Amino acid sequence: DKDKGGVSISFYEPGMEEAAKRRAMIESELRSALIDERVEPYFQPIIDLETGEVIGFEALARCRASDGSLLMPDEFIPIAEQSGLISRLFLQVLKKGCLVLRHKPPHMTMAINLSSLQLSDDWLAEQILAILTETGVAPGRLEVEITETALVANFEAAHAMVTKLKRQGIRISLDDFGTGYSSLRHLSELPFDKLKIDKSFVARLGNDEASDTIVRTVTTLAHNLGLKVTAEGIEDDAHVSFLQGIGCEYGQGFLYGRPAEASRRRVTEDAANED
Ligand code: C2E
Ligand code: CA
Ligand code: CA
Ligand code: CA
């Protein structure tokens, strides 16, 4: 069962008690993984849709459980948030991500996901900068992703955080766009660099007139606000042609590559060289 990835308990029934047990198990796995540095980024390429070149990566958290199985973020991120571990998790993913990014060509960027709970973390900007300095990564190569839902739920905190990070030269993307209910005011008052169209709309391109219209309209709106657009969840060539046709700049999805472990060699060498 180890190899199935994502599920480390084989026999559990979806009862309340079982769910509570699994939750407790994940929390304890997460705590020990943070101590042993078994929380790590998987990297998914982001492509320039015009040239087909890789312009960077999104770092997506994975947690290696003590039995070797891989826990997935849809399950452990909410638990990390509820148990006060989200900030440590973020910093561990950021640090490991930067150790990989610094060996990539300097034009490449790394995107990383921020939890809504981190928007009011007064230390976050300093902690990010310390890691960038320590790993030698220029702030302009880091892109912090904030979901539309988090933005709407905490507009004032998001405003303050985005302003602070932008002042340091870090880029900001508005993630999962189309799933929240942001207004033009939300969009125009914050200095975002990019807008990421949620994969649920991209998945329906071509079979659903409404999705085509939404994706086209959102792209135009973003361009009018001076933002670049990334479409996530690109799975086939038809998606690509449609997105190229409407001038969407960047794309990400299984068509180009699934999130994958960075090759461990460079990182391990670094760790050895640093001591
Ligand atoms: P997200 O930020 O929207 O990340 C994109 C998710 O879509 C990833 O799932 C990725 O594997 C998946 N995906 C990419 N391309 C395709 C595609 O073509 N088709 C389909 N069906 N899916 C695709 P993943 O890695 O399981 O992450 C799920 C969510 O967990 C992320 O959604 C993000 O909200 C959250 N997450 C991941 N890492 C972190 C983290 O370090 N911190 C925080 N706060 N949240 C994280
Ligand atoms: Ca994201
Ligand atoms: Ca997303
Ligand atoms: Ca998502």
**Per-residue model confidence (pLDDT) at position 16:** 79
**Per-residue model confidence (pLDDT) at position 1:** 42
All residue ranges of the chain with pLDDT < 70 are: 1-14, 264-275
**Per-residue model confidence (pLDDT) at position 8:** 57
Name the strand (E) or helix (H) holding 203. helix 199-203
ipTM of the complex: 0.98
Ramachandran assignment for 176, one of left (phi > 0), alpha (psi -120 to 50 degrees), beta (any other): left
Asked if 198 and 180 count as a contact pair (C-beta separation under 8 A), the reply is no
For residue 162, which of 134, 177, 143 has the smallest C-alpha distance? 143
Q: Is the CB of 61 under 6 A from ligand 1?
A: yes
CA atoms of 236 and 256, how far apart (whole Å):
9
Nearest residue (by CA) to ligand 1, atom 2, is 113
Any idea what the Cα angle at residue 53 is, between residues 49 and 57, rounded to 5°? 95
Using the mean position of ligand 1's atoms as its centre, give its distance from the Cα of residue 199 in Å.
Answer: 10
Q: Which atom from ligand 1 is nearest to the alpha carbon of 252?
A: 15
Instruction: Give pLDDT tens digits for 118-169.
Output: 999 999 999 999 999 999 999 999 999 999 999 999 999 999 999 999 999 9
Residue given tokens 């973390």 in the structure block: 121
**Per-residue model confidence (pLDDT) at position 162:** 98
Q: Is the CB of 40 under 6 A from ligand 1?
A: no
Asked if 146 and 172 count as a contact pair (C-beta separation under 8 A), the reply is yes
**Per-residue model confidence (pLDDT) at position 108:** 98
**Per-residue model confidence (pLDDT) at position 12:** 55
Nearest residue (by CA) to ligand 1, atom 17, is 233
Using the mean position of ligand 4's atoms as its centre, give its distance from the Cα of residue 198 in Å.
Answer: 7
Using the mean position of ligand 4's atoms as its centre, give its distance from the Cα of residue 273 in Å.
Answer: 37
